[in-house]
Amino acid sequence: MELSQFTIKGLIVQQIRDEIICGNFKPGSRLRLRDLADQFKVSTQPIRHALTELESEGLIRTEPRKGAVVSELSVEELTDIYEIRATLEAMATRLAIPHFTPELVEKLENIISDMDNHMGEVVELVHLNKLFHLTLYSASGRKHLYELVDSLRNNTAHYLHAYMIDLEGMPLAQDEHRAILSACQKGQSEKAASLMYAHVMTAGEGIIDYVKRESANQNKN
């Protein structure tokens, strides 16, 4: 049975997203319609629709005379986003704690265990890491806060592979996830919020340093 146009678009969105998150399509690189259509063996129409959706997520931008490019964030932009994220995610954690249940704790524990089982698998780790955080924040019941955090996390998703793989940050991140969950489980609102703030900033600072080094290396060549 032939796949519907909607299904094809959805698959292509996921495939291009995965390529970006893995770092195969690097920040600043052009995404040419014809090249992508040839790669995925489809017409340019579903590629065009897929790029529009990915642009709404913040993973790509449309630039004059270039077309679609993978979003490239400056050090200043990354600093801004991660400082905002850390503040909002600490807030969401604090607001979620009064609504914690044994079922939620079990769900979060299972996600952490799943991450342990997928070390080195960038796409799966990015997905599970996002699932852990958004599952926790959803307990706050603050719809707009949740959506804002989700949007900001999408904007930096394609930089996470540097922290997870190149900087080997996942073992530390997992320790931090467990510490955050333990504080949440004990109802320690301020401690959990503080741990979450530090957790987000640690990843952000690692990524920012990585981007600075990559930029310096490119300038030497």
Position 177 confidence tier, pLDDT thresholds 50, 70, 90: very high
Specify whether domain 75-220 bears CATH 1.20.120.530. Answer: yes
Torsion over CA: 111, 114, 119, 121 (sign) = negative
Position 2 confidence tier, pLDDT thresholds 50, 70, 90: very low
Distances (CA, A) of 202 to 34, 59, 86, 164: 39, 22, 10, 12
**According to CATH, where is 1.20.120.530 located in the chain?**
75-220
Q: For 115-168, what is each residue's pLDDT tens digit?
A: 999 998 999 999 999 999 999 999 999 999 999 999 999 999 999 988 888 888
Position 55 confidence tier, pLDDT thresholds 50, 70, 90: very high
How large is the C-alpha radius of gyration of the chain? 18
Which CATH topology does 5-70 take? Arc Repressor Mutant, subunit A (1.10.10)
Percent of the chain with pLDDT over 70: 97
* pLDDT (0 to 100) of residue 178: 98
Q: How far apart are CA 104 and CA 42, in angstroms?
A: 42
CB 37 within 8 A of CB 47: yes
Q: Is residue 216's pLDDT more than 80?
A: yes
* pLDDT (0 to 100) of residue 217: 76
pTM above the 0.95 mark? no
Q: Is residue 3's pLDDT more than 50?
A: no
Position 221 confidence tier, pLDDT thresholds 50, 70, 90: low
* pLDDT (0 to 100) of residue 1: 30
Q: For 95-110, what is each residue's pLDDT tens digit?
A: 999 999 999 999 999 9
**According to CATH, where is 1.10.10.10 located in the chain?**
5-70
Q: For all residues of the chain together, what is the average pLDDT?
A: 92
Classify residue 98 as exposed, middle or buried by CB count within 10 Å of its CB (0-12, 13-18, 19+). Answer: exposed
